[in-house]
Amino acid sequence: MRLQFGGVVVLDDVELEVREHEILAVIGPNGAGKTALLNCLSGIYHPQHGTVTLEGELLTGKRPYQVARRGIGRSFQHLGLFGHLTVVENLLVGRHARTRSGTLKSALFWGPARREEIESRRRVEEIIDFFELWSFRHKPAASLPFGVQKLVGVARAMATEPKLLLLDEPGSGLTRD
């Protein structure tokens, strides 16, 4: 894969493969292109050369929401949370990639849209339990300590039920506790 901005080459001849149940870490100094690589994998950037595939499906050129729907979840180095939304609402945003009902059915809260909403809220509760976010569930994300916000970002990525989970510096800025 190759990505460049003007005359600056950010990624050059990058090739990687992640197998099912495999954990792969990409390490390097600041400015090495780690976030740019994750941006290419999640559809934020489009490489000039090379492809991104997931389970044989070509994702190169797809928009980020399309990539998320196909199974790539992502947390961000600089959070990317909706500060005015609660933890539950931020996780429900992550669940949006798993819903199929249109705007009208969702607004009427009828039929499949109702079932999807109930299922999304059930899954969000499971994620809140897993990440032990009970006491923060109804608090706006912007009011939370930085470490909790980082955890909410990972939880939101998990809410997409990804086949591939991309974590961009999930521990940066955190203390050991």
Look at residue 55 in the predicted model and tell me its pLDDT.
Answer: 92
Confidence at 175, pLDDT banded by 50, 70, 90: confident
Contacts (Cβ under 8 Å, ≥6 apart) of 75: 150, 153, 154, 156, 157, 165, 166, 167, 168, 170
Q: What does pTM read for this prediction?
A: 0.84
CA 4, CA 140: separation in Å to the nearest integer? 37
Question: Cα-flanking dihedrals φ and ψ of residue 76, to 5°?
Answer: -115, 150
Is residue 119 pLDDT above 80, yes or no?
yes
- Rounded Cα distance between 52 and 43, Å, is 9
For 43-89, what is each residue's pLDDT tens digit? 999 999 999 999 999 999 999 999 999 999 999 888 889 999 999 99
**Other C-beta atoms lying within 10 Å of the C-beta of residue 78:** 11
Topology given in CATH for the domain delimited by 1-70: Rossmann fold (3.40.50)
Confidence label for 105 from pLDDT (cuts 50, 70 and 90): low
d(CA 92, CA 85): 10
Domain(s) labelled CATH 3.40.50.300 in the chain stretch across 1-70
Q: What is the DSSP string of 30-90?
A: TTSSHHHHHHHHTTSS--SB---EETTEE-TT--HHHHHHTTEEEEBTTB---TTSBHHHH
DSSP H or E segment with residue 113: helix 112-130
Report pLDDT for 101.
65
- Average pLDDT of every residue of the chain: 89
| 15-40 average pLDDT score | 93
Question: CB neighbours (10 Å) of residue 53?
Answer: 10
What does residue 5 show for φ and ψ, rounded to 5 degrees?
Answer: -120, 105
pLDDT tier for residue 97 given thresholds of 50, 70 and 90? confident
Q: For position 143, what pLDDT does the model report?
A: 96
